[in-house]
Amino acid sequence: MDIAEINLQSRYVFRERISLMVLLCASSGRGFQVIPTSGMTLRSRSEHHLSNGDKYKDNVNALLLVATLVATVAFAAGFTVPGGFSSSPPNLGMAILANELDFCYFLLCNTLAMQCSVVAIVALIWAQLGDPELIHRAFHLALPSLFVALISMSAAFLFGVVATRRSHNNFLFNVVFNTVTAIFFHVMVLLLGPYVIPQLPGVPFL
């Protein structure tokens, strides 16, 4: 760990990030630790005197852009709900699919995506101050929040599609839809999970 800190770099290839994660897990002992493999947790002793946190500026801006886009999409989806709104009394202005279970799931996932993306945005705004300690704490909060926001936004889209489908007994549609959904979420977890999920020393998968 001392050698890794002395030779700290601004950029790492993926295998080097994995090596850093192993070092962090081994040095922290057993227990629940938030150690993302993004390479943003290993800090040299001289980091506070170098570049004032500028080395993370591009990462912060990229994540801030993604979080803002998710919040924008979730906000727009909240006011343009699937199925539209009723234009006649007694349910004037109410969502047509308000009584559908899938529509309730859509609202839940969309709300979660909106709120988690806002949390990520606020955390990354703090990271803009340039304080290395704030940057690392912001990443620990923003990365998992953004992960949940992306997953929730995707789930909201899927539930919105299901809520508006006309054929409720189309076996082929259900099979294809469920298969594609299962594959998609597995790929999402495999791609985003290692970047944000907490590491649990002693547990091989985590």
* Number of domains the chain contains: 1
pLDDT in tens, 25-46: 777 655 545 555 454 555 544 4
Tell me which DSSP letter residue 15 carries: H
| Residue 202: inside a domain | no
| Residue 46: inside a domain | no
Most trustworthy range by pLDDT among 2-11, 20-29, 103-112, 167-176: 103-112
Task: Please tell me the pTM assigned to this model.
Answer: 0.71
**CB atoms near residue 20 (< 10 Å):** 21
Contact 23, 5 (CB under 8 A): no
| Residue 108: inside a domain | yes
Distance CA 44, CA 182 (A): 41
| Residue 60: inside a domain | yes
| Residue 203: inside a domain | no
Instruction: Answer with the residue of higher pLDDT: 204 or 85.
Output: 85
Structural domain containing residue 187: 52-196
| Residue 45: inside a domain | no
CA atoms within 13 A on the CB side of 196: 21
| Residue 71: inside a domain | yes
Distance CA 182, CA 174 (A): 12
CA atoms within 13 A on the CB side of 49: 3
User: Which residue from 70, 72, 193, 186 is spatially nearest to 143, judged by alpha carbons?
Assistant: 193
pLDDT in tens, 53-99: 566 778 888 889 999 999 999 999 888 887 777 776 776 667 777 77
User: Residue 183 has which token pair?
Assistant: 């594959």
| Residue 114: inside a domain | yes
